[in-house]
Structure 1
């Protein structure tokens, strides 16, 4: 071979390789799925403890495949949508307790954030027959314990379908849109207490407990839906804003044998309250219910006899600020129970006897239990996730019910989450970090040792190796007496002798976390894109955010938008002193609570921030829902100054920088009313700004080309008003910011 040709080829190869490793991330790639990580869909551990099932999608068909834990090989395909003529594809599935029947979900459509309507079929694994539950789309179908019945919601009423006889019984009759809801939560419960199904079968399947919502007197909110027709339509639903009337809730028990429903009336009068959780114990006649006052600082756990309808108060918690409702209540065989609470200042696990007497505090320390996975009755060990190796990390632990012999089961530092086999022999661990895309491994639950690798994202890693990717640097910054968690993304060709515009992101809502050692979301790729364009991107979790103890989280009580905004402004000022930060070009953005924050930061910090973007922002807490807002602010009637002094709508006169305001008109959560009121206030204050409205889009602002359009809009605004395309200047500023790696 000619040596000159060889050299030419080598130069071409090296040049090509070099250019291939320096590709820029485009906005189109972020939103077309180029960087999507693979995962496990609808993972379910089988009763035998030796197998698990997942939902796989292939060539427009869906399959429920069963795998062996030890070998990871596929045992069989339990259900294939191709074999069922009525079903094109599946979106989810649920087993009956004995796993002889499977509930199949198809043609599912969203109502609000968590609620859906869908067609549901019962597949019998023994006969391979398929039964349609209802011709109409239904909500929250749930097997009875013996698998012979399915209860569900339809048109605000509850129904039971007997799978043996094929007959359907309607067990409530008074359901009516925007008036009475039986067994399904109203809008504000769904959004803020995080559940939709408000009915539960007891252990024997002969009783159903349910919550009834009377929202007759709750004020209505309406949204125009513009659609494609000549005339718009309206969506009208009940939405209690802060200080307004809530649904009247009551607890009921339907007895299948007696065919009647009775209301549970406790020997304590609650005037204005919520029932955020109900759960049957192992005893078919013992129901638990959590009652919490409207201020959400007094929570009572009641144990109710389903025959006599009498109740005993077994646990009462109070807090000077508020109490987070727990979903971790677990009844043991002796009806003692496991409970999580932050009553000692950090979220921990407690064990009580059936009367509510404390047996022991299982976990303790200056760290948080972030997930409770379950209790192994045989070994008397509890499995949980926590922040024991740092507030930005998550690891999996086991501990004895007596609080002894704690063991860390995961080895890698980052974000670990677990799915345990039914008998707690194994767990599938999902691990990711800022540098490692998600990987799924099978682990031994006793030792945590790796058994086998299930799935990784090596292909994604290889793909990303072709791009200019900057490290996400984790550190803390000392602000207002606190060491706040921070991450920073700098341009890949960062030169500390030059200055760069600073773009800050935050959310900042109570108990939230954005600075976390986990793999990229879509926004992280956007920040990489911005870094490639010459920006330094920073995120700081200020006071009021989560996983650093109750005092740190609850300091914002009654004054949302005060301390959080002070922290972001002060952080920007301190970062602006860094030699490589252009203190005259600092921007901030956020979505929802983050939009509330970025607006406030620009207005109140008008000498610090030169621009801000607010997407779907709350502009006054007077416009937001009762449960969320009053948890942190009490009511406007009680705390008018707290509502008004820190709402950005009341500080528009301070605007000096460039402001972009964005909202979807179909936002059922943070209503576009917030933006419209802000727009009018800005106009009346004679302040120029830019804004963008997305017709019929909800709080997520997505679908079709919408999300790409949104991020192009924001990117262009950043380029226009932070000026990263200008020549970087040589500087000689002093660096005196307290940043700890």
Structure 2
């Protein structure tokens, strides 16, 4: 159900559908209750100007729709595209701008569109088709207006750094001055005689960030005001801006560079005064979210880990705590919204176990909590505009995704929308193994674990063990949800005679702040200890061959697999590291300093647990893989690790994928990559099942 949008009437929703026969896209409207298609709102097949479109956005009144076509990716979240405005009443279409642009956004009254082009902001009046340029100093690798720089996009998960006020007459935006941010360059080899270079600003840990400033453009006066809040910040971030329901009051979140203090400011755009409404502090760090919601009276809903678990809070418009809405030793994992008619908040949480997700409703006063989903696994909701219905997406380790319609008042199932029964039937013809969930007691903690055994598993035999993990701060790899792409690979490895295991160690998420933030200032210490100890415990199982244990990971997981092979050289026989961080000194400011501080203030935290400093410990087989066009974890990480291994006279295998980014894909690339990794596993861990030692065999028979 691609690009699902609930219509304002609360009774219908739209989705983006692709017609394979005509190779065109359409926005189709469906009735919630009957699940019948009401109409096709717009189809590319009827618009000569468009071959297809890949995304759409409605104006608030749903009389206009913005269509994106010929999208061109920039970084992880950013893209350029041609955009068209389709008028639903007149059935006419007009291009927003002659060139590809970024982040076009309707004004709340639907009369205008603000967008970014070549680092400057523009506003188009849709009635007159006139375009006004707002900023003029935008320049590549120097000044960006209203669009996030690389590190904000990657680590704060934003691209659009501007926002319309409710009256559609003011635009707040963040200006990024990248002038003093160090540049990083990547060779792009392509197919020409000479390679080219991609040069961009990338602040590595401890280096200069963009100098940021907050501004408000007034459409009525055509003037830009510089905003200064009532506190002097030396080195800071503005990860979020959002207008309140008062058209003259802007909210802005200011965060110190260490990211353990977050201030919420209310700024009056009429007189440029500011008020500090909320100030959060944490001994480790504070996560930035999109959960801030303003109610009609400008009181607001906020989420915080301040009691040790992520929960929902209600504050007055002056920042006084009115109520902690949710409480308990579990995490709120998604905030869906607030129904002001019923004074009810809707959210997703781990109340049914940290590997599961359920949808709940609760009154804003914290009473009348109700579980709205009944099936154990991963449930997520998309609510109708009036909160009368929700579409539940459910999956588990044994059930492919299915979409069902429910009543919000009771959670009662109304009808099934889509299921994946055909997929389930198809998979039933394959020899797949059940993903077994359990916990493993490691270093004083019960760690979540899954295990996949060969379908013809025989407890009297011994199998090589292959461990998968990511292990990054706040992440989760052990979840009761349908297969990820890698799960099919793990099933294939199980077919070949491997036992595949995944353990979420300390530092991962959804088990409370203390469990997650124990790795603060020491990334790679406790996580590595847990993987090594988990491997030792698993090696004691009679059906695990302790001499054939391997581990792999990608990105943070590659950092981990390298470390565990080096530091756990008496436990692991082999490791595969894909696109790994090999020294945290090479990674960006926002992510790295959130967990380690700066290298100037915490050099030991950077160096003691970085793989590049432990190459002398390598005994087993090591495969290192990287893409040369990785703008996130630069290939510099692997090149420096290679040099360190060579100078330590350590033999290893490595593979470089030209012009491939952090995801390493395109054409046959993924197929080649996974074939290479599979071959390496077979060569180093072997594909033959061993008979257990005589005493193990006897013990197994006695237990059996």
After TM superposition, is the score higher than 0.5? yes
5 Å-filtered alignment, 1:109-508, equals: 109-508=72-471
Q: CA deviation at 1:146?
A: 1.1
Q: CA deviation at 1:733?
A: 3.2
Q: 1:529 aligns with which of 477, 492, 510?
A: 492
Tell whether the 8 Å contact from 2:462 to 2:690 is kept in structure 1 after alignment: no
> 1:575 — aligned with what?
538
Does the Cα contact within 8 Å between 1:471 and 1:489 map onto a contact in 2? yes
For residues 629-670 of structure 1, give each alpha carbon's deviation from its aligned partner in whole angstroms, at most 9, with x where no partner exists.
000000000000110000000000000000000000000000
Q: Identify which of structures 1 and 2 has the higher relative contact order when contacts are C-alpha pairs closer than 8 Å and 6+ apart.
A: 1
CA contact (8 A) 1:209 1:254 kept: yes
Residue 58 of structure 2 is aligned to residue 106 of structure 1: no
Confirm or deny that 1:78 pairs with 2:29. no
Residue 47, structure 1, aligned to residue 36, structure 2: no
- Is the CA contact 1:138–1:154 (under 8 Å) kept in the aligned structure 2? yes
User: In 1, Cα distance between the equivalents of 2:88 and 2:595?
Assistant: 49
User: For residue 596 of structure 2, what is the aligned residue in structure 1?
Assistant: 633
Q: Report the equivalent of 1:14.
A: none
Contact 1:497 / 1:731 at 8 angstroms: preserved in 2? Answer: no
- CA–CA distance in structure 2, aligned partners of residues 450 and 728 of structure 1: 51
Residues matched between the structures, number: 698
Structure 1 residues 357 and 734, CA gap change in structure 2 (3 angstroms): farther
In the alignment, which residue of structure 2 is the partner of 1:584?
547
Question: Is 1:655 aligned to residue 618 of structure 2?
Answer: yes
Cα distance between partner residues in 1 of 2:243 and 2:295: 12
CA displacement 1:99-140 (0-9 Å, x = unmatched): 000000100010000000000000000000001011110000
TM-score scaled by length of structure 1: 0.93
Deviation at 1:326, TM superposition (A): 2.1
Match of 2:480 among 517, 537, 554: 517
> Gapped runs of 5+ residues in structure 1?
1-39
Q: Is the 8 A contact 1:579 1:732 kept in 2?
A: no
For 2:605, the equivalent position in structure 1 comes to 642
Alignment check: 8 A CA contact 1:577 1:735 kept: no
Secondary structure of 2:651 counterpart: coil
How many angstroms apart in 2 are the aligned matches of 1:181 and 1:107? 23
1:28-67 aligned at under 5 Å gives the runs: 40-59=1-20, 60-67=23-30
Supply the distance in 2 between the matched residues of 1:730 and 1:540 (Cα, whole angstroms): 27
User: Is contact 1:579-1:735 (8 Å) kept?
Assistant: no
**Distance in 2 separating the partners of 1:353 and 1:628:** 32
Indicate if the aligned counterparts of 1:410 and 1:448 stay in contact, CA closer than 8 A.
yes
SS in 2 for 1:733: helix
Q: Secondary structure at the match of 1:724?
A: coil
Counterpart CA distance in 2 for 1:292 and 1:96 is 32
Shift of 1:90: 1.3
User: What do residues 262-295 of structure 1 show as CA deviations (whole Å, max 9, x unaligned)?
Assistant: 1101121000000000000111001000000000
Gaps of 5+ in 2: none
Alignment of 1:7-18 (within 5 A): none
| Aligned mates of 1:82, 1:504 — CA distance in 2 | 49
| Structure 1 consecutive aligned stretches of length 4 or more whose deviation exceeds 4 Å | 726-731, 734-737
Query: Among 603, 613, 626, which residue is 2:566 paired with?
Result: 603
The SS at the match of 2:278 is strand
Tell me if structure 2 keeps the 8 A contact 1:211–1:249: yes
